[in-house]
Chains A and B, each alone.
Chain A
């Protein structure tokens, strides 16, 4: 993957696939470190699955027996001397608070750090692809914060789906403006 934001898009789709009603994508950035957390309330995974998800030959896809999503994110973090952890609570064992939490920490100044890239495009694409799920995206930077919460958008929109063209283009502009305001 050329941008970390593409890994974020890819991994967040797993949360939707796991039936999450809310997926939180949290980016916390300092001068030295970037911490990515993806927290969902999906069905969760059993212990054996959690142990094997970093193996490229573990996958939920049915078209090919290879799954590169998690291994690629783990590699991207470890290449920067960072870390990758995944914790999950399967719904059978945790009927009240099931879900999965992925944490990847990157050293931004490491030569092998993959740039974050276009997060706005990833968040917009994620919402476009799963208009019935909710997402909270929050990017905390040293000089401020960029965020969007689809639950708040839904309050305004009522029955109008989130993947309506005009809504998607609006979300893209909404995030872009927040990033521009921080850069100025």
Chain B
């Protein structure tokens, strides 16, 4: 069974990492998590991003956060990816499977998955 004391180990590990993280290229993954997003399946999409990014060792480079209604409820789950100096990319009608591909091809590989973007739907 897990015990709260295990968090101490995570704490120590993180404190060593903080110095390394400074100056790394920031990338932000933002998942729409209002009622519309949640009803359309945003929760497993968010979990998939968190898991994949952690598994791929990208935790120092990428942050995952949640936002409210983006206003295009019919396209939920909506995920936006922001990176300094680059245009924002909006992925629509996301699923955990699509999230895995975005982590692999876009976040890791630097290539936007055009077929999942809003631009491709409009």
Contact = CB atoms under 8 A, between A and B. Distances in A.
A interface SS class: helix
Given A168-B50, A169-B54, A177-B1, A156 B33 contact: no
A9 B10 CA distance: 26
A181 interface: yes
A171 B15 CA distance: 19
Contacts of B65: 129, 163
A121 B10 contact: no
Given A128-B50, A177-B2, 20 more contacts: A6-B43, A9-B33, A9-B38, A9-B43, A10-B34, A10-B38, A13-B34, A61-B68, A63-B71, A125-B33, A152-B4, A156-B7, A164-B10, A164-B14, A164-B59, A165-B54, A165-B59, A166-B14, A169-B50, A170-B2
B65 to A, nearest CB: 7
8 tightest Cβ-Cβ pairs between the two chains A and B: A129-B66, A63-B71, A156-B7, A165-B54, A165-B59, A69-B35, A160-B14, A174-B2
A67 interface: yes
Interface string B1-37: 1101111101101110000000000000000011110
25 contacts: A6-B43, A9-B33, A10-B34, A13-B34, A63-B70, A63-B71, A64-B69, A64-B73, A121-B47, A124-B47, A125-B43, A125-B47, A128-B66, A129-B33, A156-B11, A158-B11, A163-B65, A164-B59, A165-B59, A166-B10, A166-B59, A167-B7, A169-B50, A170-B2, A177-B2
Interface string B60-84: 0000111011110100000000000
A173 interface: yes
Interface in A128-143: 128-129
B53 interface: yes
Nearest to B39: A1
Contact of A1 (B4, B38, B50, B68): B38
Interface centre among B4, B15, B44, B65 (most CB of A within 10 A): B4
A181 B36 CA distance: 34
Contacts of B68: 61, 63
Interface of B: 1-2, 4-8, 10-11, 13-15, 33-36, 38-39, 43-44, 46-47, 50-51, 53-54, 59, 64-66, 68-71, 73
A157 interface: yes
Interface centre among B1, B7, B8 (most CB of A within 10 A): B7
Nearest to A169: B54
